[in-house]
Amino acid sequence: MQDLTFPSPKASGTTRTLPGFTLSLGFTVFYLSLIVLLPLSALIINTLSMSWDAFWHTVTSPRVLASYRLSFGASLAAATVNAIFGTVLAWVLVRYHFPGKKLLDALVDLPFALPTAVAGIALTALYAQNGWIGRYLQAFNIKVAFTPIGVAVALIFIGLPFVVRTVQPILEESERELEEAAASLGANRLQTFTHVIFPTIFPALLTGFALAFARALGEYGSVIFIAGNMPMVSEITPLLIITKLEQYDYQGATAIAVVMLATSFVMLLAINVLQSWMRQRGSKDRN
């Protein structure tokens, strides 16, 4: 029989499977430049062609400020709701066994596969005044469709998988012996969760929150159908950018986009810094 043994990494003088650092780094920089940096550079360069007064007037007009408040506020609210209920859903999928569990697990990924326009139409049909859910809410004078509440509902729908899929693997790998040890030492369920479980899943939960927030901030397709798109009331910033592009106001569109880009970058950077601090703190506690 032919000997199929491979030489050890030390014997061959290398431990690398992929190409070396220089080639890998060059490919990485080229790919990121082509896909990310060039479009963002074009966005910023086009905005720099505006005067400061024109830029400031564009990004601080009442209509634009109203769209900022709705987009950022609804995205933050949706990401917060998903952080809470997404964690509960991930817990149920990991810790319990019940009929239909695999089906429920597959449904979590439905917002990934479903076209956003289809999601928007479906949500509008459900929450309109004559919809299956909207007709019952109408009895309590609660309007969802064509209001900012509808925007938040759509953003919750498309952001849920991000939290579930980031928290779920951490729960699966968590050591249940620590929970049992805490219970044996007299800790109740709340104490076990806050002192044992939550510190373990918090970095993943924060990542899921950031992903859900970023996804919601740039969402367009599922929102425009249920929002109503009324200026100063239910008009999101991405729709305002599209409106300016349709009016051939390219500088105005890029100016608004740059503000959203800068704000999103600062918020995501703050979240990443917090994650890094939590990891360092966790490493010091273990040591």
pLDDT, tens only, 248-284: 998 999 999 999 888 888 888 888 787 777 777 766 6
- Write down the pTM of the prediction: 0.84
- In the three-class reduction of DSSP (H, G, I as helix; E, B as strand; rest coil), residue 255 is classed as helix
Alpha-carbon gap, residue 83 to 75, rounded angstroms: 12
* 77-96 burial code (b ≥16 CB/10 A, e <16): bbbebbbeebbebbbebbee
Question: pLDDT per residue over 58-71, tens digit each?
Answer: 999 999 999 999 99
Answer whether residue 185 shows pLDDT above 60.
yes
Mean pLDDT on 108-114: 89
Looking at domain 51-282, its CATH architecture is Orthogonal Bundle (1.10)
Task: Give yes or no for a contact between 217 and 230, defined as CB atoms under 8 angstroms apart.
Answer: no
Per-residue model confidence (pLDDT) at position 199: 85
Task: Give yes or no for a contact between 73 and 61, defined as CB atoms under 8 angstroms apart.
Answer: no
Which residue type does 238 have?
P
Answer whether residue 41 shows pLDDT above 60.
yes
Alpha-carbon radius of gyration of the chain: 24
Question: pLDDT per residue over 186-209, tens digit each?
Answer: 888 888 888 888 888 988 898 899
Domain ranges of the chain: 51-282
Answer whether residue 235 shows pLDDT above 80.
yes
At CB < 8 A and 24+ separation, what contacts does 275-283 make? 275/203, 275/206, 275/207, 278/202, 278/203, 278/206, 279/203, 282/199, 282/203
Average pLDDT, the chain: 86
Per-residue model confidence (pLDDT) at position 192: 83
Tokens 């030492």, located at residue: 185
**pLDDT grade for 174, boundaries at 50, 70 and 90:** confident
Question: pLDDT per residue over 117-126, tens digit each?
Answer: 899 999 999 9
